[in-house]
Structure 1
């Protein structure tokens, strides 16, 4: 971790966070290895702006970056964003994300949606609880529906038991979001991909569908 990466006045980062990401492991370098440059991206949709989800945006400043309006309203103050777990001192200078509009209709148990692509195959849905305005991303593929859960849950086992993770702005909303994801999985073949789930890559590669447990 670079000295000064986290602000000195926020002790949580220094006491509780230990992240070792080399420069060659950053999102910009990884995209370049695949022949993709930030300017080639049509949209970067962030579930939320916590430091472990939003700090790569400095590598993607040539791409349009989207969050929900509810989330940006809660995080546009640099001081408040830092208190909540973001590191705005690492954002590009003058960073203001584009705001997604919930112009899409309901998808399963989700009352509204945010269209990302014109063909409707990529949409975002509200999954609040972990933070205000948290988004999940749904990709409708040919063989499965993929749900990128961000931090709506930390792993599939927690979600299946309808348990929240240890960091939640509103645990009651978090449980409601979890129940909606489970209901969507009952309605169609779903590959669940939480951001912190160590088994997510295997499930994606093997097309391992989530089969919800009835509690």
Structure 2
């Protein structure tokens, strides 16, 4: 198996917005997604990153989102550009793992109508719910999401229950132990991390924090990063789980950490 984390875009923001110990000044925070080239199941996407679909979306909520976050796309990091470098097309993707439904993770979901979408039941319930006035405040832009009844959706909770290296339980997404979902609630309903098993396991903890300091210190994130946390109590428990994983020797990766990953593409 080959694992990489292409960067679809960057968001420039004061580092102290997400890490109170950071030096003054702005930082370019990456927006990653995962591409696993699986020996049996072919290309598997973990989220889809930011993409042009965000700019095609109409409405006040989308316009406000673009203005506040102001992401800068990296065309070479677009999900289909990444696939093309491997000689692949969107139709070759049979599995997309959706860690949660924020736009920086779900922009290009609609490009993969033939893929099975793996996600948690809370995320799927949020996807299926009727539109609400507070969707934008919760970081949900429904116009980016395909019509759920037409999606081959597979809840993590239906996958086999398996032990995690640091204790606790996860869900065996593919049935072969190579990809395990781990509930990391708090950031958004259904937010989940993904453990890539093997000789050197890697735990993709997604948005449990923006930087490593965010989960290594037992403290709440500063404002305005705290506004992106749906439930502080469960977010604290998820950060503690990630710390425990790292303490047992499992390598941790985050979506927005400015520190480069060896797997960055």
Matching residue within 92, 96, 99 for 2:146 = 92
Distance 1:78 1:22, change over 3 A: farther
Separation in structure 2 between the aligned mates of residue 31 and residue 4 of structure 1, nearest angstrom: 22
Question: Partner of 1:174 in structure 2?
Answer: 235
Separation in structure 2 between the aligned mates of residue 6 and residue 141 of structure 1, nearest angstrom: 43
How many residue pairs get aligned? The number is 202
Q: Is 1:194 equivalent to 2:239 in the alignment?
A: no
Separation in structure 2 between the aligned mates of residue 110 and residue 76 of structure 1, nearest angstrom: 32
What's the offset of the Cα at 1:196?
Answer: 0.5
The answer to which structure has the higher helix fraction is 1
Separation in structure 1 between the aligned mates of residue 68 and residue 191 of structure 2, nearest angstrom: 23
Distance 1:164 1:42, change over 3 A: farther
The DSSP-based 3-state class of the residue aligned with 1:49 is coil
Between the two structures, name the one with larger relative contact order (CA 8 Å, sep ≥ 6).
2
Question: Partner of 2:39 in structure 1?
Answer: none
The answer to which structure has the higher strand fraction is 2
For structure 1, the 5+ residue unaligned runs are 206-215
Q: What is the TM-score when the length of structure 2 is the normalising length? A: 0.67
Separation in structure 1 between the aligned mates of residue 56 and residue 93 of structure 2, nearest angstrom: 30
Q: Could you tell me whether the CA contact under 8 Å between 1:110 and 1:126 is conserved in 2?
A: no
Question: Partner of 1:151 in structure 2?
Answer: 207
Separation in structure 1 between the aligned mates of residue 161 and residue 58 of structure 2, nearest angstrom: 37
Distance 1:156 1:194, change over 3 A: same
Question: Partner of 1:212 in structure 2?
Answer: none
Q: Deviations over 1:86-130 (max 9, x none)?
A: 222123355543322253133255643221122212100100000
How is 1:106-185 mapped onto 2 (pairs within 5 angstroms)?
Answer: 106-108=163-165, 111-142=168-199, 144-165=200-221, 166=225, 167-185=228-246
For structure 2, the 5+ residue unaligned runs are 1-51
Q: What is the TM-score when the length of structure 1 is the normalising length? A: 0.81
Question: Partner of 1:41 in structure 2?
Answer: 93
Distance 1:118 1:24, change over 3 A: same
CA RMSD of aligned residues (A): 2.6
The DSSP-based 3-state class of the residue aligned with 2:252 is strand
Separation in structure 1 between the aligned mates of residue 119 and residue 167 of structure 2, nearest angstrom: 18
What's the offset of the Cα at 1:61?
Answer: 2.5
The DSSP-based 3-state class of the residue aligned with 2:115 is coil
What's the offset of the Cα at 1:59?
Answer: 2.5
